[in-house]
A and B are shown apart, each in its own frame.
Chain A
């Protein structure tokens, strides 16, 4: 599904290159559930951002769904991204001024779905995550677990092929975290969504099918479960 070849990401600090990712290559197939681990500053989030096209690598080749991402223009990249990728954040990043319903609906607006279609899709998603009763609440009125649920619902609303999660359970207690991980596993198994998550927790990492360990911007080890 995606292939990174010789990817580097660095920042120029007073003439010196400060590498965040250093000549990293990685292949991920459709249907995989990959957990990326590593200490702080090892480049986990940068890797995820590059895969998610939120950020661009300084060097290297990036292929996604058969397209050379490094050659695409902003607009084409955005179209590709909208079609295939959903993002889940550690800090949920819901829009405070929008209700649960509206937060979930927003990606559909950017993909030009019709109003009635949007209504049906959001209703479906609310149902699936059992949050119908909360649809008119604002994020501040929800618990952390509930907010993350909304965040995931929003990431899934446009039926992405790839779900990227940056420490999705980082701000949650263990019980809430387990529920989210169960949900991820179900999505991966039943709906065939490819998932890449960044995590600090060994336990959460083991929900996946492969664990990649990063150290100083390079892949230290990769283990198939």
Chain B
């Protein structure tokens, strides 16, 4: 029986090539979108879950009460690590760390500057990254040891057989390789790790770290924790909450200690009122919905085309009923056909996904592949294909099998027309989804553009950044002098924060007009000379630093900070910071160093002549950047021979802040395009059917003198009306969701009617282009032919 059904299904596909192609192509596209999104969503959910015991791993965070508002920080103190280790019996291991940093690694004349982590000896027990060589328990015990990833080992030594070999760190200390990790997969929150250095090394070589053990106030570290087997977070939470409260220190007194499970790190990175409430998960959910919608749109094509074409199949239904078929046989037959078509579409979609994967991976920065060898994958995917087949096939199956055999065999009923209202509703549904996606894409891009066009408060073009290192500290002055002399660099400075970040926040202890109990925390940057000149930040009141030692007791605030401190005449007022009285000597214009979507962060700038971590320098105007970098590279090589010269363009760093928005915009653009493509494919098929059905009417009208354009109008009008209705439905829905989305941005574009009109115009033009081919083809056909055929 099934063979008979498959045979007739197959022959129907072959005999109606255009319709079959539309059906299969539409479904395949929809399925490819759904499959791709499914793989992507699965990848996002798979983050960190490949680690054994991942459910027991946590990172410690602090909920800091800032004047009633709860801010969640991931930086913690070393004292907290010790306290958790010694006083909470439910905790199996604790690893303190620097949270990740970049260092120079050198072997012979091989020099690399890479990101890694400095962490306690329990790190590899908490995060059980698979080791190729060495043992997780002993690798981080000796302070002068280092664990490399396989790729780092090969880059440095040309082999991963490197146990006990020496690596020179920052041209200063020789570390012995004690372990080699398999490269950390891309779906790891710790993908940045290229090597691990024991935390004891940091304690031995840096005095401030040793001294940081004494207070809960010194929050500059990250702490990872592994709970004992069978212990839930709920059991530990009340015990750790108040461990810092006993210490007389603003930070400690106002901090609740919490932990976030490893499985949530990637998707729930945003804290609101002390609770992980969202983050990337919002987009994962959004795209899951989009994937399902696009698949539904494709199913609608199948439903509409099949019911519209039912005239062709009606006779067969009549015959089959007349020779003994029951309705259930027919339903089963049509479902079999839809399964056949769906599977053909599925194989096409696999092909599409294979083709799309590498550009998609490049776009989203993932390494997704189709897990062909996974049994679970096939189980899920085959179930999804069957569900799709049922979804797409059940309406046509029930509709077609309902025909009365006597009537269809006599040809007395016009089948296919009775279903036209439901068909219209389905088309409106398709286009509403597609248009809503178009509107969303337009708004996302406008928002990005809006924020990009916003004045940044400093000039990020021709600005470069490099990292300071221990060698360079000694020769920095000479290097700077050389670069300025050579004429390729206009200005050069260094500071504790990079030009696109505010890496450190601290309290202003006292200031005129401070309320009782008020805490004021703001961005804190220690800068060297010519900082504002190099970044081209405008001094609005007072003066720049004079670059003399006396300036260390002066301070410059930005406008936002002055507003936060409520100072009317800030110049020459005295504040207390870090236990020290400071005079306000200047007010500088706000610069968007953090989010380009938010208000500028209140920030204070202090003067410190010592070289700081971030070197920032501006190319001389009019100079060819390529030549300039060549020269700068030579200068760095001269003064800093043991490190490779690395640099970043500050505008690249700045534009990276739009990364997530640009990604979301691109993805929604791609999916909107595909959704409208599938919808139009369906419309193309429907238009062909309508034109065919109205052949006689068109012939008669033509004989009576209708022009081609009149006929074109006649055939297009209904479809355009449907699209207009769709625009009306889509606009408020899109508006609602977009308003919600924009809420997360302080600095947001306003959605005017223009967006909706633009999207509606685009949809109507696309519709007209799609159906005009069929309409005009029908309109220019010779009427004699069509009338004779009746």
Contacts and interface: CB of A to CB of B under 8 A. Distances in A.
A97 B324 contact: no
Interface string B580-593: 00000000000000
Interface stretch (A59-67, A107-115, A171-179): A107-115
Interface in A129-164: 154-155, 158
B15 interface: yes
Interface string B247-260: 00000000000000
Contacts of B321: 54
Contact of A97 (B11, B318, B322): B11
A148 B11 CA distance: 22
Contacts of A122: none
Nearest to B409: A93
Interface string A81-119: 110001101010111111000100111011100000000
A25 interface: no
B12 interface: yes
Contacts of A102: 4, 7
A2 B565 CA distance: 104
Interface string B289-324: 000000000000000000000000001101111111
B4 A106 contact: yes
A209 to B, nearest CB: 25
Interface residues of A, number: 30
Interface in B325-344: 325-326, 329
Contacts, number: 62
B523 interface: no
Given A95-B316, A109-B1, A75 B326 contact: yes
B721 interface: no
Interface string A47-91: 001001011000000000000000000110010011000110101
Contact of B406 (A55, A75, A106): A55
B323 A107 contact: yes
B320 A98 contact: no
Nearest to A89: B409
A107 B8 contact: no
B324 A78 contact: yes
A73 B409 CA distance: 23
B317 to A, nearest CB: 10
Contacts of A78: 324, 326
Contact of A95 (B1, B15, B319, B405): B319
Nearest to B410: A45
Contact of B324 (A94, A96, A111): A111
A193 B674 CA distance: 61
Interface string B392-434: 0000000000001110011000000000000000000000000
Nearest to B4: A109
Contacts of A82: 324
Contacts of B11: 97-98
A74 B402 CA distance: 13
A93 B319 contact: yes
A174 to B, nearest CB: 25
Nearest to A99: B7
Given A94-B319, A97-B11, A81 B324 contact: yes
Contacts of B409: 89, 91, 93
Contacts of A52: 322
A45 B409 CA distance: 12
A106 B320 contact: yes
Interface in B1-18: 1, 4, 7-8, 11-12, 15
Interface of A: 45, 49, 52, 54-55, 74-75, 78, 81-82, 86-87, 89, 91, 93-98, 102, 105-107, 109-111, 154-155, 158
Given A93-B409, A97-B316, 9 more contacts: A49-B406, A86-B323, A87-B322, A95-B320, A98-B4, A98-B8, A102-B4, A106-B4, A110-B323
Nearest first, the 7 closest Cβ-Cβ pairs linking A and B are A97-B11, A82-B324, A110-B324, A107-B323, A93-B319, A97-B8, A55-B406
